[in-house]
Structure 1
């Protein structure tokens, strides 16, 4: 009886061991299969060509320089979880870049004096000192800390020349940016923070805009429904820090003539264009009463910033339709870098990640 009891105990122990090993192996195989399938659709981190730890957003053959730093679309970021601080002291360009800004200022003054064209206005902007994300201890909700410094548009234009040669043959990108640390960059190279909004009408149409040919950044490219940059003279009247939701509402009013009571606004993510070093807060806005045709009629009667857009399209807000629109041959290489990730996140927010990723993968297979 002692031998039978010992054999029984040994068999039970071996059974538990083998079951545990088999379960872990099965879980590993399943996890690996899911990662492979998801990798064909999109990636939410930045991976440089040398195999670093991050990869930018892509869908099939559509590759962008948009790095989704925080947010997955499913879990919105609460307004109270975003903390914006404006630091004292404006951004200063290094001595090597200061002449580039002087060139821009002199050229705009010359063009204005000659009457050749409307000079570029040197608007008051913000540079990004840092974006830090933490988690609350109880529910692990994101807390985003955005630190800004004052700057202006001419400084932004000078710093955008990331691949221009300096006297020693180096470039700003090579000298001050580290490919393996995309979130670490000096503030003078990050003189842009804006909001991008995916607007969906009450009859489920996604609004897609085409940027004007006269804008300095991404002219002629297809873009988000609404794009608005932070402006110190408008968004920080007095001495308070800018409110990102208020900036988004300003963009909705100026570009689509929509008032706050006509939509719900949800913050989805913080995204960085790693090529141009432009930061964005990605929102989605769901109209509560206007159809696509009614919005088209509204904007035909005039909007404040008409010149920023040359065209508007209305795409059925279904994953298959949006992905076909993104991947169509005539548009695939004509998107502003941050727009495809925005539309993906908006789809996930409405339809759920699993459904969106299945539909995206199916659309890519049909190419």
Structure 2
């Protein structure tokens, strides 16, 4: 190697050190600013794409539902005296283009009763939801819920559930009467269902999860809340006419799990709407005082009033990570009734706190 080569090498090394000393930090700062501005621009674009979606349905990682939590966050219960229910006198009527659908159902059930080919569906008296409004008390910001109901029946509910059936002009009830941007605005004749859904947790911290029977007309075979009970005018109307939602929940506990009010505590957590099917729910959490999972199973084995509504009951440890993994199991994730996952999440929040629950849910989703 010649002296010139050695000199060039030494000079290059010296210049490299000088350049690194003078410009390395500056280069890093410039690169950092470019990355930060690029990330900010991407977030800005993403945010603008999502603008206008003030109402989002419940989701958990890859699990997406049509359940819209309208009131309540699970953190604190809604007091019974804060729920005001009023029932209008005028019964629901379907528009002319849908009235024939109800007549078809009535004729079909009449034929079933005559021929005996199958058990006909009883046209029970029900309630339709005309509207739900929420306010806050001025001093302590407690929720006040005003629920407005109208009389209807089960055949009208079945006809109104045909939201994507074509009418003579080619429109459907969904396209004509519903606006996805305003999910709380809908005519009462499309909302002929209000139920209570209850997450039942045993004294040894097990969540009861039920699978709906194959013979039920709504969501057959899907995994669901511990207890699901629809409002019935012939059973739940009080002396003042309007149903008491807590009383309906207690009726569901008795009919579906053979449990009496002194055996559990009950908390109303939220009002939730299935925007896809226009079905409303009051979400409850029930904690058994002394009864374990084995004892509850033994109690139910001796008979329950509405055994046919459930074909299976499973018990899951009532811990955030366990419930989340159960919700996201490959054999469950697409087999949930729409309102159940939100119910279980709200129950976890009520017991364990939002921060703890969301941290455990995020960890479970990352590990999928």
TM-score norm. by structure 2 comes to 0.86
What residue is the counterpart of 1:223 in the other structure?
224
What residue is the counterpart of 1:207 in the other structure?
208
What residue is the counterpart of 2:315 in the other structure?
314
What does the per-residue CA deviation read over 1:146-180, in whole Å, with 9 as the maximum and x for residues that have no partner? 00000000000000000000000000000000111
What residue is the counterpart of 2:169 in the other structure?
168
What residue is the counterpart of 1:17 in the other structure?
none
CA RMSD of aligned residues (A): 1.8
Indicate the SS of the match to 1:96.
Answer: helix
Unpaired segments ≥5 residues, structure 2: 1-35, 44-48
What residue is the counterpart of 2:302 in the other structure?
301
In 2, the alpha carbon distance for the partners of 1:310 and 1:188 equals 31
What does the per-residue CA deviation read over 1:228-250, in whole Å, with 9 as the maximum and x for residues that have no partner? 00000000154521000000000
What residue is the counterpart of 2:343 in the other structure?
342
In 2, the alpha carbon distance for the partners of 1:339 and 1:130 equals 22
What residue is the counterpart of 2:135 in the other structure?
134
* 1:309 to partner: Cα distance: 0.3
In 1, the alpha carbon distance for the partners of 2:74 and 2:51 equals 29
What residue is the counterpart of 2:108 in the other structure?
107
Indicate the SS of the match to 2:327.
Answer: helix
* 1:49 to partner: Cα distance: 8.8
Number of positions where the alignment pairs a residue of Structure 1 with one of Structure 2: 324
* 1:128 to partner: Cα distance: 0.2
Whether 1:276 and 2:277 are equivalent positions in the alignment is yes
Indicate the SS of the match to 2:68.
Answer: strand
TM-score norm. by structure 1 comes to 0.86
Whether 1:55 and 2:56 are equivalent positions in the alignment is yes
Q: How does 1:149-168 map to 2 (within 5 A)?
A: 149-168=150-169
* 1:111 to partner: Cα distance: 1.1
What residue is the counterpart of 1:327 in the other structure?
328
- Per the alignment, do residues 85 and 289 of structure 1 end up closer, same or farther by CA in structure 2, a change over 3 Å counting? same
In 2, the alpha carbon distance for the partners of 1:290 and 1:53 equals 42
What residue is the counterpart of 2:242 in the other structure?
241
In 2, the alpha carbon distance for the partners of 1:113 and 1:256 equals 34
Indicate the SS of the match to 1:289.
Answer: coil
* 1:52 to partner: Cα distance: 2.7
Q: Identify which range, 315-324 or 236-245, moves more after superposition.
A: 236-245
Indicate the SS of the match to 1:195.
Answer: strand
What residue is the counterpart of 2:182 in the other structure?
181
What residue is the counterpart of 1:20 in the other structure?
none
